[in-house]
Amino acid sequence: MTLTPYKGIGEPKVHVTNFESMMFLNSDGNPILCRSFSTFLDGAALLWFSNLPTGSITSFDEFAKMFINHFAASKIYVRDSDYLSTIKQCPHESLKDNMTRFTTAAMEISDLNPEVQLHAIKSGLRPGKFQEAIVVAKPKTLEEFRDKATGQIEIEEL
């Protein structure tokens, strides 16, 4: 496992967890965890660490809490399934590009209900022949929708 340095952007708790997982082999890890954590910091996070008063870290658990609390506002916003309903196919956007954009967003949502995903992608189609074909065909699964979309994409790319 490789761990990229935390720069002060993203979920700090994930960084701490990944660091602990990487260092788990050390049985008496507390002093080593405290000393080595800074080697996995960069940018604003390293500057913050460098400005901590000497002797202010008494345990890794305490330090991890300080770190997580300090960078809590740096979490990357996690979207939920409601976000998918905001993704609309643009007037001159190909179905392929729309599907790529939608799928990328959907992959970032944990525990996404396939029915919610299907409803959102159908609702986001711009009015036109493909959207009308979907209304008539009434695909009941994502696979059925993807089959129809694949056929349409092949036609668009001719």
Among 61, 59, 60, 37, residue whose Cα is nearest residue 49: 37
Across 133-154, average pLDDT: 96
Report the C-alpha gap between 80 and 70 in whole angstroms.
Answer: 25
* pLDDT at 1 exceeding the cut of 70: no
Identify the pLDDT of residue 14.
86
Using an 8 Å Cβ cutoff, are 37 and 60 in contact?
A: yes
Is 129 within 8 Å of 123 (Cβ atoms)? Answer: no
24-55 tens-digit pLDDT = 755 456 778 888 888 889 888 999 999 999 88
User: What's the sign of the alpha-carbon dihedral 101, 102, 105, 107?
Assistant: negative
Q: Do 15 and 39 meet the contact criterion of CB atoms below 8 Å apart?
A: no
Residue 2: pLDDT over 80: no
Q: Can you give the pLDDT at residue 29?
A: 61
Q: Which of 76, 117, 119, 126 is nearest to 97 (CA)?
A: 126
CB 41 within 8 A of CB 15: no
Residues of the chain with CATH 1.10.1200: 81-156
Give per-residue pLDDT as tens, 51-98: 999 888 888 889 999 999 998 887 766 788 999 999 999 999 999 999
Distance between CA atoms of 39 and 23, rounded to whole angstroms? 13
What confidence tier does 15 reach under pLDDT thresholds 50, 70, 90? confident
For 81-156, the fitting CATH number among 1.20.1740, 1.10.8, 1.10.1200, 3.40.50 is 1.10.1200
Residue 6 φ then ψ, to 5°: -80, 130
What pLDDT score was predicted for residue 158?
87
For residue 131, the model assigns a pLDDT of 97
The answer to whether the beta carbons of residues 7 and 42 sit under 8 Å apart is yes
- In angstroms, how far is CA 151 from the centroid of its own chain? 29
